Amino acid sequence: MSTATEPSTLKAWLLAEEPTSRRQARAASVYQGWLTMRGNTLTMIGLGILIFLILCAIFAPLLATENPFAQDLANRLKPPGWEGHIFGTDSLGRDIYSRLLYGARISIYIVLLVAAVAPLVGLMIGTIAGYVGGVTDTVLMRATDIFLAFPRLVLALAFVAALGAGIENAVLAIALTAWPPYARIARAETLTIRNSDFIAAVRLQGAGPIRIIVRHIWPLCISSLIVRVTLDMAGIILTAAGLGFLGLGAQPPSPEWGAMVAEGRKYILDYWWVATIPGLAIFSLSLAFNLIGDGLRDVLDPKGGE
């Protein structure tokens, strides 16, 4: 072990054997994670797709060729490539390409919001149930079972019916129906973690349950939750679409992808592109999340060190 030499470049600083400050240690571990992820080609493809879709959403006004709401009933259901409509037109003659770009904003917004809310609720309920145990565990997990017993869409419908239609309420309803599986996973992880020596050691330092759950158990549960969330993304988009289809999510002229698929469903046999093209968009978004989730699992697994 040689003494730490003054790191000359950023890379050397990040890869230093012996970091000299908290900031450097944190940056180094993030960088190491990035290196692991970069080694996984599929994950980088996923990340590429996601960044591309987000850029599309951000620059939609610049990229769109037409107004996504402009109807042109004379040119309805035209095939892709017809007179400047790259992806064709839908049943009201609107340009599918432009709608897709604006729709990316709504769909990504919904997905990210649900992905932020549902796992957090599940994480809290699951870790508390797992760590505290006893009556708390029983009550919380039975509540989880009750939520799990209903089909997801039906439960979401009930919530939206109570809260009123609209994207925000749809997100809330989906989040409320999506957390139980995360609570299950978090509880199972907690049960194995809570008996480990490092938890015993911090208990012997006099740490209370809240500190142990938040600072010691959460960081270890998050990796499996992230993986699970990325796998659930497609389901979330489809539930949002389902709500939209039933008139309870994104409201009709809005170019939300799920709603677009639902709309195109009527014409699928004769005019395949109306449903297929937004379907492909949903597919690529969920594929991107899946690939990223896979790579993140490698990065977040603490045993993946050396």
Partner 1 sequence: MTDTLLDVENLWVKFPTRSGVFDAVRGISFTLGRERLGIVGESGSGKSMTGRAILRLIRPPGKIEADRLVMTGTDVLKASEKQMRSLRGHHASMIMQDPKFSLNPVMTVGQQITEALMTHEKVSTRVARQKALEMLDAVAIRNPERVLDLYPHEVSGGMGQRIMIAMMLIPDPEILIADEPTSALDVSVQLQVLEIMNKLVSDRGMGLIFISHDLNLVSNFCDRIVIMYAGRIVEVCEAGRLHEAQHPYTRGLLNAVPNLQSPRDRLEVLKRDPAWREAPSVSARL
Partner 2 sequence: MSAIEINDLNVWFGEGPDRNDAVKHVSFSVPEGESFGLVGESGSGKSTVLRAITGLVPTWQGGIHVQGRPLGRKRDKTFYKNVQMVFQDPYASLHPRMTVDQVLSEALQLHGFKEIDSRIETLLRDVGLGPGFRFRYPHQLSGGQRQRVAIARALAPEPKILLLDEPTSALDVSVQAEILNLLTDLRAERHLTYVMVSHDLGVVGHMCGQVAVMQHGEIVEELGVADMRQLKAEHDYTQHLLDSSLRSIR
Please choose which of partner 1, partner 2, none residue 132 contacts, taking the beta carbon within 5 to 8 angstroms, the exact cut-off set by kind: none
Contacts with partner 1, residue ranges (CB under 8 A): 35, 39, 306
Query: How many other CB atoms sit within 10 Å of the CB of residue 225?
Result: 23
Contact 264, 278 (CB under 8 A): yes
Q: Which is closer to partner 2, CB of 135 or CB of 162? A: 135
Q: Which is closer to partner 2, CB of 84 or CB of 208? A: 208
Assign 3-class secondary structure to 74-117: HHCCCCCCECCECCCECCCCCEHHHHHHHHHHHHHHHHHHHHHH
Q: How far is the CB of 122 from partner 2 (least distance, A)?
A: 20
Q: Does 74 bind partner 2 (CB under 8 A)?
A: no
- From the list 34, 52, 59, 198, which residue makes contact with partner 2 (rule: CB under 8 A)? 198
Which of positions 161-190 make contact with partner 2 (CB under 8 A)? none
Q: Does 5 bind partner 2 (CB under 8 A)?
A: no
Q: Does 196 bind partner 2 (CB under 8 A)?
A: yes
Q: How far is the CB of 194 from partner 2 (least distance, A)?
A: 11
Q: Does 134 bind partner 2 (CB under 8 A)?
A: no
Q: Which two tokens stand for residue 216?
A: 């010691």
- From the list 49, 143, 202, 234, which residue makes contact with partner 2 (rule: CB under 8 A)? 202
Segment interacting with partner 2, rule: CB under 8 A, options 20-28, 89-97, 226-234, 265-273:
20-28
User: CA–CA separation, 4 vs 25, rounded Å?
Assistant: 14
Q: Which is closer to partner 2, CB of 69 or CB of 198? A: 198
Smallest CA-to-CA distance from 227 within 135, 134, 115, 132 is with 115
Q: Say which residues have a Cβ less than 8 Å from residue 285's Cβ, sequence separation at least 6.
A: 49, 50, 53, 107, 108, 111, 233, 237, 257
Residues that bind partner 2 (CB under 8 A): 1, 3-4, 17-22, 24-25, 29, 196-198, 200-207, 215-216, 219-220, 302-303, 305-306
